[in-house]
Amino acid sequence: MLYDITRKCDAATAKLCINCDPQSSPEPVLGPAQTATMPRVNPAPAIQPDPASIPVISAWAPLRRRVFAALWIGGLSVNIGIWIRETGAGWLMTDLRPTPIMVSLVSVSTTLPMFLLSIPAGALADVLDRRRLMLVVQIFGMLIAALLAATVLAGRITAELLLLCMLALGAAQALVNPAWQAAMADLVPREELPAASTLNSVSLNLSRAIGPGLGGVAMVYLAGPIAAFVISALSFIAIIAALAFWSPAQPARSQSSLSGERFFGAMRAGLRYVRHSPPLHSVLVRTLSFVLAASSLWALMPLIARDHLGTDAGGFGTLMGCMGLGAVLATLVLPRVRTRLNSNQQVVFATILYAVALTLIALVPDKRAALPAMALAGAAWVTMVVNLNVAAQTGVPPWVRGRALATYFTVFFGSMAVSSPIWGAIATVTSLPTAMLISAAVALAGLVTMLRFPLTLPSAADLERSGHWESPQVSRAINPDDGPVVITIEYFIPEARSAEFAAAMQPVAQTRWRDGAISWTLARCTENPRRWLEVFVVESWAEHLRQHDRVTHGDRKVQDHARSFHEPTSGEPERPRVSHFIAAR
């Protein structure tokens, strides 16, 4: 049984969802006295700022902020340690169990946790204290790295134990990534966020250029793989110290009774948004089609260096360093490339370049030829990753960005985890060069999906909060957890425009599903063909209140277009009539 608890309000108030942002905290609506009514805003086109009026922010500006600089340096140290550790682990596996499948499993052990844990980690980054989460996880990572070094030093390492330790370290990395991405907004002002993202990219690529080479040198001139694992453990010290002394000036979340999102609800909300977001679909398809093929190089590189190119641990580190160097150089060139090529053109170019690099490595078994080919592969890899990252970050509103990025990480690293053993099996059945050629062909074939899933970047204005909804007026106190909430919106549409209206409601339906509706229906009255009823359901009253703070200008355009078909006659309401109901207990 349902009972009506609100007065009639404008149709703009009807878009509700279960998606929650723990950073926002709309006040609960307890009764008419507490209800604050927003002023009505007439639809207006979003105005893009004049580029000439936007101040130029230096790429190094965030480093002037002490806390960000300390965390960035600590992150760089950890990233270098990761590459040193992975170089040592890959080379050690060629001694413990030198088969393509086992060597490829080293890559799987570091990427599989990113596939399994990214979405839970994204939710944790929203519902827990980010600084404390990162600090605990980094200490855990340092202890596991030290345990791995001690095990190797004692001569008790086995292939299975090596994979287990790498799996635990991959889990630590998976738990930290979303929290770090979300914490950037707490460390720098909004106008410096692009520069902070660029510096993160510099850190990743610089570590890719330095880490493998240092790992190779450590293994050759120090104590073999033991040295790589010791250095990896020590690399955590800087980031742990920076996190320990960081005292955020403001709490990460509001203390409102509606500010805290439940863990599983946060995950469901993020997944629901991604499921119904076409821009994110394109990002995920592009990620899947490229990484499934491109991961062959990462998975098989230790064997390619030793068996195909005939080099030692130092040569392996040099090859990986060349790949990192190519990535760093591409990072410096990309700003100019973006002025000439759009995102989809860059994706096509990067895919072709990566396929060429794989082909050169496969057909020319010479280290001198492999070095520039690895640099090309690194440049292509970072070009693709930067475009995918930008599309994932800018294709969603801020409230769901962390969870959208977590989904992107899941697909990215899940593709690597799934495909790495497959490329190992293909190399076992055929040969290393054949596996590389097949992966190049698969990468090129994946470009066909561009026809259906090109990258699309919504404008920043469309993703901004519009704040034009009126708060619903209620006649009695409502518990935030009460629900489900049923919303009905009544339209009166001329019969001649029925087909147009039904078509205009399809994008509206997508926004309802995407932003949290658990059901949606558009129905037509059997008695009066002019009368239409939109009905959708959300899980709780709290979710309804949160959605009022998240409606965007893009949502408003879609809903206002559908509402424009409402043409009342005598005795019919001037505007679509909205009612809210809560399930009776």
Give the domain ranges of the chain. Answer: 2-38+467-583, 61-246+262-451
Report how far apart, in Å, the C-alpha atoms of 552 and of each of 258, 462, 547 are.
20, 6, 10
Residue with the larger pLDDT of the pair 169 and 298: 169
Domain 61-246+262-451 has CATH 3.40.50.1970: no
Number of helices (H) and strands (E) in the chain: give both, helices first. Answer: 17, 5
Query: How far from the centroid of its chain's Cα atoms is residue 34's Cα?
Result: 38
Tens of pLDDT along 439-450?
A: 999 999 999 998
Highest mean pLDDT among 29-43, 266-280, 346-360: 346-360
| Cβ neighbours of residue 320 closer than 8 Å, sequence gap 6 or more | 83, 87, 208, 211, 212, 213, 215, 216, 301, 374
Determine the Cα–Cα distance for residues 523 and 130; give it in Å rounded to an integer: 45
Encoded tokens for 227:
């040295």
Lowest mean pLDDT among 223-227, 431-435, 577-581: 223-227
Whole-number pLDDT of residue 361: 92
pLDDT at res. 194: 59
pLDDT at residue 209 is higher than 70: no
Distance of alpha carbon 352 from alpha carbon 336, whole angstroms: 19
pLDDT above 90 (res 584): no
pLDDT recorded at residue 7: 32
Whether the CB-CB separation of 356 and 376 falls below 8 Å is answered with yes
Q: What percent of the chain has pLDDT over 70?
A: 84
For 232-256, what is the mean pLDDT?
74
Q: Is the pLDDT of residue 198 over 50?
A: yes
pTM beyond cutoff 0.75: no
Which 3 state secondary structure label does DSSP give 524?
Answer: strand
Q: Give the long-range contacts of residues 477-480, CB within 8 A, separation 24 or more.
A: 477/30, 477/31, 478/5, 478/28, 478/29, 478/30, 478/541, 478/582, 479/541, 480/28, 480/257, 480/258, 480/540, 480/541, 480/542, 480/545
Question: How many angstroms separate the Cα of 327 from the Cα of each of 21, 101, 128, 149, 155?
Answer: 35, 27, 34, 29, 36
Give pLDDT, residue 524. 95
Please, which residues bridge with residue 474 across strands?
6
**pLDDT at site 260:** 52
Query: pLDDT of 338-396, one tens digit each?
Result: 778 888 999 999 999 999 999 999 998 888 888 999 999 988 988 888 788 778 877 88
DSSP per-residue string spanning 25-38? -PPP--SGGGPPPP
β-pairing, 531-538 vs 519-524, is: antiparallel
Higher pLDDT, 209 or 160: 160
Could you tell me if 214 and 226 are in contact, meaning their C-beta atoms sit under 8 angstroms apart?
no
Residue 516, sorted as left (phi over 0), alpha (psi -120 to 50) or beta, turns out to be left
From CA 553, how far away is CA 462, in angstroms rounded? 5
* Residue 302 burial (C-beta neighbours within 10 Å; 0-12, 13-18, 19+): buried
Count of all residues that appear for the chain in the document? 585
Q: Is residue 316 within 8 Å of residue 87, measured between CB atoms? A: yes
Is the pLDDT confidence value at 518 over 50? yes
Concatenate the DSSP letters of all residues of 443-501 into one string.
HHHGGGGGGT-------TTTTSB---PPPPPBSS---TT---EEEEEEEE--GGGHHHH
Contact by Cβ (8 Å): 501, 562:
yes
CA distance 448 to 179: 35
Query: In Å, how far from its chain's centre is CA 363?
Result: 36
Q: Tokens in use for 83?
A: 């590459």
* 49-103 residue pLDDT tens: 443 444 555 557 788 888 889 999 998 999 898 888 888 888 888 888 877 778 8
CATH 3.30.70.100 fits 2-38+467-583, yes or no: yes
